[in-house]
Chain A
Amino acid sequence: MFQLLNTILIGITSGAIYSLMAIALVLVWRSTRVVNFAQAGQALLSTYIGFEVIQRFDSYWIALIVAIVAGAAVGALIDVLFMRFLFSRNTQGPIAGVAPIIATLGLLGLIRGGIGIFLGNTEASIRPPVSNVGFTISGHTLAFSPLKFLIVGAVIFLMLALSLIFQRTNIGLALRASAYAPEIARLAGVRVDGIRTLGWALAGAAGAAAGMLQTPNGDGGLSPDSLDFSLLLVFGFIAAVIGGLESLIGAVVGGLLLGLVLAFVLTYVSGSLVFIIAFMVLILVLLLRPSGLIGAKRGRRA
């Protein structure tokens, strides 16, 4: 009974982090029609910035905020410096369709290599800001600690903030309109270039938050070739695909679903199967429901 409860709690916590990453991917996909594989690098860079802030000011909270702001700045910069240039050249030929994808992958390598050169491959680490020892209820230890509470709380807070921006503000309306129908948005006077950069900035912020929350939740380790961040990217992508790649709510649901499935595999089957199962989930969703589990009605062009 407690094992079941703990599994669910673990699933929700890691799922919440996948959701953030999925949101980051969805935001860029909606604004630019590119799956931004550099997101893992952006999140890593932001988390390193957070780590530096912790070294100086000894406060995880300041670091979290600084990392999120830095993540937004990095995202916006990538769009302005690279993506605009790439799209303005309007390439033709067989590679035109895949060039943006390859470019983001190159950026991922660039960021990781850059961090390695300037900061070294030795593992940095971020200690949990609050205890990661589970709460105890009648002698049983729950897999839900103050840290996990913080993580889930932060994710919920960020999602509420995002949905307020998207649903209630003029900027949000412009963001949605540009995502659904860029041409109509332009005719209505929306400056889509700027709005696209804003989408990249929000995505960068979400990715940074995912990195800053994931690191202390795991072993705290941080390194340029971190497998954790590559896996965060992959799981975020799978979560986004489950949600249909278009929808922010879909990304959240996808992240939670994936988190739960993987937590059950981890607890009841075997830790060594986690990745294989995640990959099979991806293939199954793509084969059976290519427009996502909840994106069926709104499934749009890929």
Chain B
Amino acid sequence: MTLIVSDLCVDHGAIRAINRVSFRVEQGQLAAVIGANGAGKTTLLRSLSGLGHAASGHATWHDHNLLHAKPEKLVRYGVSHVCEGKSVIPELTVEENLNLGALWRKDAKEAKATRENILETFPRLGERLSQLADTLSGGERQMLAIGRALMSKPQLLLLDEPSLGLAPLVIAQIFQNIRELTDEMGLTVVLVEQNAMSALEIADIGIVLNLGRVAATNSAQQLIADPQVRAAYLGY
């Protein structure tokens, strides 16, 4: 199973936000998509999960066409997307937010087992099951958002800026969680991040976006070592 994106173009009104983007992510890999603000990272992710509409190009996961499909359908094909900014529903309890991700799954027993696994990874959520998601801290919300996505038993996980607005210590924790989940569950992950260094450190491959185009793509280590990338995106 491979994520293949080729010649993808996405328009934002009159502006071409994503311009002929192509890349591949093999199964079990964690790909970090980095780039400056407005580089088109979020637009890219949204068009892969069915939330956005591509103008042209192809994107496939396994045998499934990711473009022009509804998100609720893609979830059933194993594609889960965590939106930017702690995508939880504050009016629902932690437990309800988690259960939401597994509503479509027929096998309730299996879903329960998934939940046990998630609560092992994020024990803080287990302590707060009956609280409203509104009462959680930023880091806990991000854990809940990822947990909700995992409840859908994904094979391809799309993460949009999980570090947004979090304290450095919490970021380190979450990124470590993401890496562990990738390895333990055999997930394929596309991680969109502003926080380029932390993302590349846990990633297998990196994709650098600039003004809607792929500026560089390589293994994560090589990108970290690349002086040009360092200067432009890693800040030293």
Contact = CB atoms under 8 A, between A and B. Distances in A.
A173 B49 CA distance: 22
A287 interface: no
A196 interface: no
B49 A187 contact: yes
Interface string A172-192: 011011001101111111111
A190 B72 contact: yes
A33 interface: no
Interface string A136-177: 000000000000000000000000000000000010011011
A163 to B, nearest CB: 15
Contacts of B96: 173, 176-177
Interface residues of B, number: 28
Given A186-B70, A188-B103, A190-B103, A177 B75 contact: no
Contacts of A191: 72, 104
Interface stretch (B81-89, B176-184, B189-197): B81-89
A84 interface: no
Contact of A187 (B80, B91, B92, B99): B80
B89 A187 contact: no
B104 to A, nearest CB: 4
B89 A192 contact: no
B72 A173 contact: no
Nearest to A297: B134
A227 B148 CA distance: 49
Contacts of A187: 49, 51, 71-72, 75, 80-83, 87, 149
A301 to B, nearest CB: 14
Interface in B23-82: 49-51, 70-72, 75-76, 80-82
A197 B175 CA distance: 40
A162 B101 CA distance: 23
Contact of A184 (B70, B87, B104): B87
A273 B63 CA distance: 68
Given A176-B92, A184-B88, A189 B103 contact: yes
B78 to A, nearest CB: 11
A174 B103 contact: yes
A173 B103 contact: yes
A188 B152 contact: yes
Contacts of A189: 72, 75-76, 101, 103-104, 152
Nearest to B50: A186
Interface string B130-159: 000000000000000000110110000000
B119 interface: no
Contacts of A184: 83, 87-89, 100
Contacts of A183: 51, 83, 87
Nearest to A176: B92
A186 B72 contact: yes
Contacts of B76: 189
Nearest to B151: A188
Nearest to B79: A187
A170 B103 CA distance: 7
Contacts of B151: 188
A161 B152 CA distance: 29
Nearest to B81: A187
A181 B152 contact: no
Contact of B101 (A170, A181, A188, A192): A188
A26 to B, nearest CB: 14
B99 A173 contact: yes
Contacts of A180: 89-92
A189 B101 CA distance: 7
Contacts of B89: 177, 180-181, 184-185
A277 B50 CA distance: 49
A185 B100 contact: yes
Contacts of B50: 186
Nearest to A177: B100
A180 B103 CA distance: 16
Contacts of B92: 173, 176-177, 180
Contacts of B148: 188
Contacts of A170: 99, 103
Interface of B: 49-51, 70-72, 75-76, 80-83, 87-92, 96, 99-101, 103-104, 148-149, 151-152
25 contacts: A170-B103, A174-B100, A174-B103, A176-B91, A177-B92, A180-B90, A180-B92, A181-B87, A183-B87, A185-B100, A186-B50, A186-B51, A187-B51, A187-B72, A187-B75, A187-B83, A187-B87, A188-B149, A188-B151, A189-B72, A189-B101, A189-B152, A190-B72, A190-B103, A191-B104
Given A173-B99, A184-B100, 10 more contacts: A173-B96, A177-B89, A181-B87, A183-B83, A183-B87, A186-B51, A187-B49, A187-B72, A190-B104, A298-B91
